[in-house]
A and B are shown apart, each in its own frame.
Chain A
Amino acid sequence: GENVEQHPSTLSVQEGDSAVIKCTYSDSASNYFPWYKQELGKRPQLIIDIRSNVGEKKDQRIAVTLNKTAKHFSLHITETQPEDSAVYFCAASLFGNEKLTFGTGTRLTIIP
C-alpha cells in the first residue's frame, strides 16, 4: 500500500520568512495530494491540494509543487505569520474521495 514520509517533523521560522515542508510517496498510481493544517484540538483543514496533471499550484502565500517522476511534493509558505503556527499534514490518494494516506505531520512554529 501507499506510504507517505514527511520532513521535517518540527520547523521554526522567523515571522516573515518562508517555510518549506517536503513529502515523498511510494505508490506511483497516486494522483491526488492535499495538504491539511491542524490547530491544537481542531479538525484538519484543507489548505491546498494538487492533482497529478499539474506541477505547481499557488494560493496567495501558499504553494505546492509536485514531482511525479521523483514521487515527492512540497508545501511552501511565504511571508509567514504567527497564525501559520500549527501542525501540517501531507497526504496522498488515488483520487480525492478515496482513502487518504497521511504523513506524520510537521509542527510549524512562527517566531514573532
Chain B
Amino acid sequence: ETGVTQSPTHLIKTRGQQVTLRCSSQSGHNTVSWYQQALGQGPQFIFQYYREEENGRGNFPPRFSGLQFPNYSSELNVNALELDDSALYLCASSLLAAQGTDTQYFGPGTRLTVL
C-alpha cells in the first residue's frame, strides 16, 4: 500500500451543492495530482499542484479548483455539482525534483455520488 490517504471514502451530494475532497501525500513527495475516474473508464487528469501552485490542468471547467498546503496535502473543490460529476476521485502524489523523474502513487479515492 502507498502512503497516500484520502477523505472521505464516500460522499453523497445533490445537484448544485459544493464538495471538498482531501488528500495527504506520501512522505517525501511534494506534488499532488487529481484524477476523475467515471465508472468503467480510465482516470482523467484534473490538475496538479506543486509548491502550492497549480502546475498543469486538464479539460475540466473552473468550478473544479484546488489547493495545496505547506505540508503538501491538497484539497479538491467542486462547485455547482452536476450529475456527471459522480465518479471516483483519485489523488496521486509524486516527487518533482530537478534531477529526474518520479512515479505517481495513488490514494484509495473518494467515491462521490451526485443525486
Contact = CB atoms under 8 A, between A and B. Distances in A.
Nearest to B55: A98
B42 A95 contact: no
B45 A100 contact: yes
Nearest to A97: B94
B110 to A, nearest CB: 11
Given A43-B2, A43-B90, A43-B106, A104 B41 contact: yes
A45 B43 CA distance: 13
Contacts of B103: 34, 46, 49, 96-97
A49 B2 CA distance: 16
Interface residues of chain B: helix, strand, loop or mixed (majority): loop
A35 to B, nearest CB: 11
A95 B101 CA distance: 6
B106 A97 contact: no
A101 B56 CA distance: 13
Contact of B42 (A32, A49, A51, A89): A89
Interface residues of A, number: 25
A100 B45 CA distance: 7
Interface of B: 2, 31, 33, 35, 40-45, 48, 56, 58, 90, 92, 94-96, 101-109
B24 to A, nearest CB: 14
Given A44-B90, A89-B43, A98 B107 contact: no
Interface of A: 6, 31-32, 34, 36, 42-46, 49, 51, 89, 91, 95-105
Contacts of A89: 42-43
B33 A44 contact: no
B101 A51 contact: yes
Contacts of A31: 101
Nearest to B93: A97
A99 B33 contact: yes
Given A49-B103, A103-B42, 7 more contacts: A32-B101, A43-B90, A51-B101, A97-B95, A98-B56, A99-B48, A105-B41
